Amino acid sequence: MIKAELLGRQYGNIYAVKGLSFEVKRGEVMGLLGPNGAGKSTTMKMLTCFLPPSSGEAWIGGLSLTDSMKVRRLVGYLPEHAPSYHDLDVEAYLQFVGKIHGVPQGTRQDKIKEMVAVCGLEAVVFRRIDELSKGYRQRVGLAASMLHDPECLILDEPTTGLDPNQIVEIRHLIRRLGEQKTVLLSSHILPEVEAVCDRMMIIDKGELQALGTTAELSKQAQGGVLVSATIQGDVERFMAQLRPALPDIEVLHQKAVEDSATHVEIQHPDPECKLAQAVFHAAVASGAVLLEMRNERASLEDIFHQLTQGGQAS
Amino acid sequence: MSVIFALCLKEWRISLDTPQGYVVSIAFLLASGFFFGNNLFLYGQADMRHWFAVLPLLYIFFIPAMSMRLLADELHDGTYELLITMPTRTLDIVLGKYLSLLGHTTLLLALTWLYPLTLLLLGNLDMGVVLSSYLAAWLLAALFSAMGLYASSLTQHAMIAYIVGLILLLVVFLLTQASPTLPIVLQDWIALLGPINHYQNMLRGVVSLADVVLFISFTVIFLSLTWFALERRRWR
């Protein structure tokens, strides 16, 4: 549905986006992650035909961005901060957007009613937009972006400024939309992306760092296994048992805790090395008691941190 | 076409429905009423020459106030991004905005019809001169509106748009006023191209094609400049 090939955008000598290639399939929710200034908004502005790309090409629904009039009809866009005309009331604003998008007069009123219901705007339909709270404005923007029934929704940080209840509602809404439409959304709230998106891509300094599902990214980022365990007994003897079995292990962290127990975090570069089993056998052989053991998975925060700091796993 | 209409209607609604719109309208009508009435009985003549002579000055202060937010606010609030990512052409945006502004100035001008009506009751008014003067006043308003809109496309701040618009219109006005002090060559050019000179021609009651064409051409030029200013933003 959305396809970009080596998409790039330059401001003067600075690349905001550089050589970005990705594809979003029909009916998929794709998350766009990155630190501030990574090029998320610029990418979205290019895909919505607001900024012409300085290099590369992109297609939406098989149409090249140069066919901008048709592309713009396919796309519903919610820019960052959800701008709208503050002097109009919600009804007048949605009427205006409907007219610009050429929603026929006969169905426009029904369509507006539907969107007002979907976005929970019934209570504020005849209020001026500048009287509304940030959350309601965000919903007005969302309603406006879906009014013409676009096949593809591009949402720039759709949940900023919402309270936790509203965030949950908007997430549900996006999930529901994602069943029929293609959604590309940007965010820097990681759990949100994890909860809402089928796949995600992480960009930094305008370049793609990773693309895939949470599980795929997790595997890719960790590059090994990490076991954290709490052992009661002689740690030196335990380590002496463990080392011959797996010579490449690395102890990341070791700290004595109460009841003569020790907490250790052990890493091994080979994900297939059965580290947890080895830890168990070593504990048994050294006569130590294993109080707790856990296979750690790299969290999205770790992946994000790793990929956007240019640093290695720590 | 429907896009132009929708935009025009939206602007029209904002300009009449919000304080910033009707305060300007009321202030304009008050000022124009003052200049109509203040020495009418001093001269004791049933004509509107003095009022039409002052009208460009009123325009200079009030038209930029009506036009300043049209594009500057869109650029400032980020709604321009919304507008341009909907299926609109830049030309639609320029024309929609311009037509709503022209509608606003036309409405204000139409409301001054009370003055000739009053004069008709008081004395023997030459309706031919009044009608041609009104045509001139409307053409001048059309040109100044286009210039005001152009000023609004240059900046994101309505206040700066107002000042730029004011300066643009003042320059046009002062070129004619100050032309006797300028070199002869320049004087000829100003007589040929100065909108205020042509406005004054039409106040005499003669409508010549040259005057009308001059106003229309300058209006088109400034609308095109507005179009260029908006298009250029996309490539920056």
Residues of A in contact with B6 (CB under 8 A): 96, 99-100
| CA nearest neighbour of A147 among A206, A244, A76, A45 | A76
Do the beta carbons of residue B106 and residue B182 sit within 8 Å? no
pLDDT at A125 over 80: yes
Domain with CATH 3.40.50.300 in chain A: 2-212
Do the beta carbons of residue A228 and residue A293 sit within 8 Å? yes
B153 vs A65, A198, B59, CA distance in Å?
26, 42, 19
Read off the pLDDT of each residue in B219-227 and give the average, rounded to a whole number. Answer: 97
CB contact under 8 A, B81 and A50: yes
Do β-strands A14-24 and A207-212 pair in parallel, antiparallel, or remain unpaired? unpaired
| Lookup: tokens for B43 | 């001269």
pLDDT of residue A298: 66
CB contact under 8 A, B3 and A81: no
Contacts of B197 (CB under 8 A, 6+ apart): B176, B190, B191
Do the beta carbons of residue A275 and residue A224 sit within 8 Å? no
CB contact under 8 A, A99 and B235: no
Do the beta carbons of residue B186 and residue B193 sit within 8 Å? no
CB contact under 8 A, A72 and B87: yes
pLDDT of residue B236: 53
Do β-strands A225-232 and A250-257 pair in parallel, antiparallel, or remain unpaired? unpaired
Query: Which homologous superfamily is A2-212 in?
Result: P-loop containing nucleotide triphosphate hydrolases (3.40.50.300)
Question: Which tens digit of pLDDT belongs to each residue from A46-104?
Answer: 999 888 888 888 999 888 888 888 899 999 999 988 899 988 999 999 999 999 998 99
- Residue B145 class from Cβ within 10 Å (0-12 exposed, 13-18 middle, 19+ buried)? buried
pLDDT of residue A66: 85
Residues of A in contact with B14 (CB under 8 A): 85, 87-88
Do the beta carbons of residue A245 and residue A282 sit within 8 Å? yes
| Lookup: tokens for A245 | 């079995």
Q: A65: distance to nearest CA of chain B, Å?
A: 12
pLDDT at A289 over 80: yes
Task: Please provide the distance, in angstroms rounded to a whole number, between the alpha carbons at the two ends of chain A.
Answer: 38
| Partner residue facing A100 (CB), from B6, B18, B236 | B6
Question: Which tens digit of pLDDT belongs to each residue from A164-193?
Answer: 887 888 888 888 878 888 999 998 777 788
Residues of A in contact with B3 (CB under 8 A): 99-100, 102
CB contact under 8 A, A73 and B87: yes
> How far is the C-alpha of A91 from the C-alpha of A78, rounded, in Å?
18
Give the number of C-alpha atoms closer than 13 A to the C-alpha of residue A15, restricted to the C-beta side. 12
Q: B69: distance to nearest CA of chain A, Å?
A: 12
Q: What is the ipTM of this complex?
A: 0.87
Q: What 3-state class would DSSP assign to A51? A: coil
pLDDT of residue A221: 63
> How far is the C-alpha of A29 from the C-alpha of A173, rounded, in Å?
12
Task: Please provide the distance, in angstroms rounded to a whole number, between the alpha carbons at the two ends of chain B.
Answer: 28
> How far is the C-alpha of B198 from the C-alpha of B140, rounded, in Å?
9
| CA nearest neighbour of A27 among A239, A182, A235 | A182
Closest chain A residue to B236 measured between Cα atoms? Answer: A11
CB contact under 8 A, A99 and B6: yes
Domain with CATH 3.30.70.360 in chain A: 221-309
Question: Which tens digit of pLDDT belongs to each residue from A100-120?
Answer: 998 998 899 999 999 898 888
Q: B71: distance to nearest CA of chain A, Å?
A: 12
B231 at interface of A, judged by CB pairs closer than 8 A? no
CB contact under 8 A, B14 and A73: no
> How far is the C-alpha of A213 from the C-alpha of A25, rounded, in Å?
13
Closest chain B residue to A92 measured between Cα atoms? Answer: B10
pLDDT of residue A15: 86
SS3 content of chain B, % helix, strand, coil (to 5): 85, 0, 15
Share of chain A above pLDDT 90, in %: 18
The domain ranges of chain B are 2-234
> How far is the C-alpha of B216 from the C-alpha of B143, rounded, in Å?
7
Do the beta carbons of residue B24 and residue B65 sit within 8 Å? yes
Across the strands, what pairs with A255?
A: A263
Give the number of C-alpha atoms closer than 13 A to the C-alpha of residue A115, restricted to the C-beta side. 26
Question: Which tens digit of pLDDT belongs to each residue from B147-197?
Answer: 999 999 999 999 999 999 999 999 999 999 888 898 898 898 988 899 999
Residues of B in contact with A48 (CB under 8 A): 85
Q: A99: distance to nearest CA of chain B, Å?
A: 6
Do the beta carbons of residue A241 and residue A286 sit within 8 Å? yes
Do the beta carbons of residue A154 and residue A29 sit within 8 Å? no
Do the beta carbons of residue A265 and residue A228 sit within 8 Å? yes
Contacts of A284 (CB under 8 A, 6+ apart): none
- Indicate the fold that domain A221-309 takes in CATH: Alpha-Beta Plaits (3.30.70)
